[in-house]
Amino acid sequence: MAGPGQHSTSQPSLRERKQARTRQALIEAAVELFERQGYDETTVAEIAAAAEIGTRTFFGYFAGKEDILFPDSDARSRATIAAIADRDPAEGPVDVLLRALDTIAESDADMVSPMAAVRMRLFHTVPAVRGKALQVQLAAQREIARELHKAFPGELDQVTAAALAGALTGAVSGALDVLLGEQGAEHADPAQLQAQVRQATERALRPWRQAAGE
């Protein structure tokens, strides 16, 4: 093997601390460079050099150039799954998902990170980044579908659970696509943004509230 692998749940060793620092340095260097020169104009070699590691080593930390824009890519699905986990017995599937959506919007520090802005701009301009982002979304959607089916075995079979998960992520990303795609998205008020997403999603999923069980 070539690259570092994540480790135990115990105290971080010197090695792990160093790797974490290197990883962070890579991310910051990349964001900085992407912002200044653009994505295609920045080479992996430059990023590695800026983080003071060998070019070859970069690929030990990230599988590809795009991947550096999606560290902790499964944060969203983890949050959703957590929301599903501690659900109220009275809640229906759609209620749980909408609550998860609220939870994410509140606790998601990623919406305001400097990287998020860069990522969003590159999403609209660089096909490779768009492709990667959509793959991350699909992975999350699949994970959600699986947990959803596990949490509501009687109510949702696998296909229906997948449909619901797809409907949720599709609705949210669709709304965000419009809200953030328009110019001036960077100066938007997060709270108002969330309200709009919430409202649009709720309307799109409304039929599921009653019809969830077949």
Q: What residues line the site for DNA (CB under 7 A)?
A: 1-5, 7, 13-16, 18-19, 22, 42-45, 52-57, 59-61, 63-66
Residues 90-109 binding its own copies (CB under 8 A) are 94
1 contacts which partner out of its own copies, DNA, none, CB within 5 to 8 A by kind? DNA
Closer of 29 and 100 to its own copies (Cβ)? 100
* In the complex, minimum distance from the CB of residue 114 to its own copies, in angstroms, rounded to a whole number: 25
The pair of structure tokens assigned to 129 is: 């980044």
Residue type, 181: G
Q: CA-based angle 23:101:168, to the nearest 5?
A: 105
Our finding on whether 171 is near its own copies (CB under 8 A) is yes
62 sits in the region (left: phi over 0; alpha: psi -120 to 50; else beta) called: beta
The pair of structure tokens assigned to 193 is: 């943004």
Cα-based distances in Å from 1 to 5, 59, 60, 160, 182: 9, 11, 9, 40, 44
First CA to last CA across the chain, in angstroms? 50
Among positions 82, 138, 188, 191, the unique one binding its own copies when judged by CB under 8 A:
138
Among positions 77, 80, 141, 194, the unique one binding its own copies when judged by CB under 8 A:
141
Our finding on whether 208 is near its own copies (CB under 8 A) is yes
* In the complex, minimum distance from the CB of residue 191 to DNA, in angstroms, rounded to a whole number: 35
Element (H, E) at 107: helix 93-107
Closer of 2 and 109 to DNA (Cβ)? 2
By the 8 A CB rule, do 190 and 116 touch? no
Among positions 77, 158, 186, 187, the unique one binding its own copies when judged by CB under 8 A:
158
Q: CA-based angle 42:43:46, to the nearest 5?
A: 95
* In the complex, minimum distance from the CB of residue 61 to DNA, in angstroms, rounded to a whole number: 7
* In the complex, minimum distance from the CB of residue 36 to its own copies, in angstroms, rounded to a whole number: 26
Q: Hunting for tokens 């509230």 — which residue is that?
A: 209
| 144 C-beta neighbours (distance < 10 Å), count | 25
201 contacts which partner out of DNA, its own copies, none, CB within 5 to 8 A by kind? its own copies
* In the complex, minimum distance from the CB of residue 141 to DNA, in angstroms, rounded to a whole number: 23
Q: CA-based angle 11:14:20, to the nearest 5?
A: 85
* In the complex, minimum distance from the CB of residue 67 to DNA, in angstroms, rounded to a whole number: 8
71 contacts which partner out of its own copies, DNA, none, CB within 5 to 8 A by kind? none
